[in-house]
């Protein structure tokens, strides 16, 4: 084989490799569909905080808003909004933190405020039955929740930390 043929062979070889490489690039598989549950996975310092911020429990128990006895969905319209969306990141509530219909301001639910009127059982009845400390019905802007006792206890622990 003379020098010329060697260069030819190297030349052809290089072109074939370049083509193959370019071909491969266009065959790069499309990115995997994004798993949003992975993105939303944030670590919360406590289960109480996770419930307050996401309305989900680390216990794997269901936390949901109820449909009223007449079968009519409450003001949440079956949508799940966590406590934080109305009572705010610090639990202060206030006129800027209106309920879903924007009529009633969400109340201050830091435990330091609630404990004057509420004990843990009354608090549970407020969030599950919509009864305030005196047994008066809370406005429909405050959803009624399906939530277990242990999750309620975790939530109270979190509300105790809010300053």
Interface residue list for ligand HEC (CB under 6 A):
81, 83, 85-87, 99-100, 104, 106-107, 109, 123, 126-127, 132-133, 138-139, 141-143, 145, 155
Tell me the two tokens of residue 120: 């843990």
Burial of 106 by CB count in 10 Å (0-12 exposed, 13-18 middle, 19+ buried)? buried
Q: How far is the CB of 70 from ligand HEC (least distance, A)?
A: 19
Indicate the burial class of 137 (C-beta count within 10 angstroms; 0-12, 13-18, 19 or more): exposed
CB of 43 to ligand HEC, least distance (A): 20
How far is residue 154's CA from residue 52's CA, in Å, rounded to a whole number?
10
Nearer to ligand HEC, 81 or 153 (CB): 81
Select 6 or 160, whichever has its Cβ closest to ligand HEC: 160
CB of 41 to ligand HEC, least distance (A): 20
**Minimum gap (Å) between residue 163 Cβ and ligand HEC:** 17
d(CA 123, CA 138): 12
């Amino acid at each position: 084989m003379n020098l010329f043929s060697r260069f030819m062979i190297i030349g052809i070889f290089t072109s074939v490799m370049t083509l193959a490489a370019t071909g491969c690039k266009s065959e790069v598989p499309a990115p995997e569909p994004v798993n949003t549950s992975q993105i939303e996975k944030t670590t919360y310092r406590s289960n109480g905080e996770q419930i307050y911020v996401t309305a989900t429990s680390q216990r794997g128990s269901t936390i949901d808003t109820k449909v009223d006895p007449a079968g009519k969905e409450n003001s949440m319209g079956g949508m799940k909004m966590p406590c934080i969306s109305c009572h705010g990141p610090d639990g202060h509530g206030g006129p800027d933190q209106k309920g879903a219909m924007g009529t009633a301001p969400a109340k201050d639910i830091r435990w330091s405020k609630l404990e004057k009127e509420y004990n843990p059982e009354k608090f549970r009845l407020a969030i599950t039955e919509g009864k305030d400390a005196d047994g008066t019905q809370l406005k429909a802007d405050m959803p009624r929740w399906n939530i277990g006792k242990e999750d309620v206890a975790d939530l109270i622990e979190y509300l105790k930390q809010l300053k």
